Structure 1
């Protein structure tokens, strides 16, 4: 039997609407997701998830190297 794993169980998926708007704004202005994470005192993975959510709603600007630079 294939054992089930809950992924990202330590990630905080809660974001305020204003916080999401600011994260998106900083990203669209060219700020790296790791810098955004520091600014908001969040884990970088949480910022990536927020940007993925915003991208699914068409709110993230495309960059030369895609949505998220690593």
Structure 2
């Protein structure tokens, strides 16, 4: 069951990424829409202290798991 859940999660993330790319491409074709690229590394660096402070709370292990999954 655990393997099936992992496989389903991976498929869901792939389908979501594919749809995101499709919608982004459609937006870029519309001149009235301005697509702004985000500096993900800069954002992560600017907010790192927030994640670190949350990890010191009683639910810190959960925050670390979420952070790890997001990087994964």
Q: Same fold (TM over 0.5)?
A: no
**Structure possessing the higher relative contact order (Cα contacts under 8 Å, 6 or more residues apart):** 1
Select the structure that is richer in helix. 2
Greater Rg, structure 1 or structure 2? Answer: 2
Q: TM-score, normalised by structure 1?
A: 0.28
Q: TM-score, normalised by structure 2?
A: 0.27
